[in-house]
């Protein structure tokens, strides 16, 4: 699990506008922050999977990847919100991680 200081309180960015990047299976929104590190949040609706266990499995997969990403990346510091779309259920784990990696590198370097 991601350490608490790296977790984004999703309510704090709901009505803000920021940079947006759309992937095949997710939407990433980035907001500048005043911290010395990136913070991440994940939103998964019931449209993705009706069962909470399925949604939690996807959320753990994304946050586990983000955990390794947090330790290795520099660049601008942002609050990053990842919104999962229903297309992610049909993808394999390796494809999800590859797409997330490419997208997050683009967002953080901008």
User: What is the longest distance spanned by two Cα atoms in the chain?
Assistant: 37
* Domain 4-109: CATH class, spelled out: alpha beta
pLDDT in tens, 26-38: 999 998 888 888 8
Structural domain boundaries of the chain?
Answer: 4-109
Cα distances (Å, whole numbers) of residue 11 to 22, 33, 41, 50? 21, 15, 10, 23
As a whole number of angstroms, the distance between CA 87 and CA 64 comes to: 20
Percent of the chain with pLDDT over 70: 92
Contact present, 93 and 61 (Cβ < 8 Å): yes
What pTM did the predictor assign? 0.87
pLDDT in tens, 47-98: 999 999 999 999 999 998 888 776 665 666 888 999 999 988 888 989 989 9
Sheet holding 39-44, edge to edge: 19-22, 26-32, 78-84, 39-44
């Amino acid at each position: 699990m991601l350490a608490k200081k790296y977790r984004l309180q999703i309510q704090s960015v709901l009505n803000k506008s920021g940079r947006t990047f759309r992937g095949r299976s997710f939407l990433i929104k980035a907001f500048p922050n005043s911290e010395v590190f990136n913070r991440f949040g994940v939103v998964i609706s019931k449209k993705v999977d009706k069962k909470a266990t399925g949604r939690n499995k996807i959320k753990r997969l994304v946050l586990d990847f983000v955990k390794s990403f947090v330790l290795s990346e520099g660049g601008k510091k942002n609050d990053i919100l990842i919104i999962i779309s229903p297309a992610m259920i049909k993808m394999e784990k390796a494809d999800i991680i590859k797409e997330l990696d490419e997208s997050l590198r683009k967002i953080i370097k901008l």
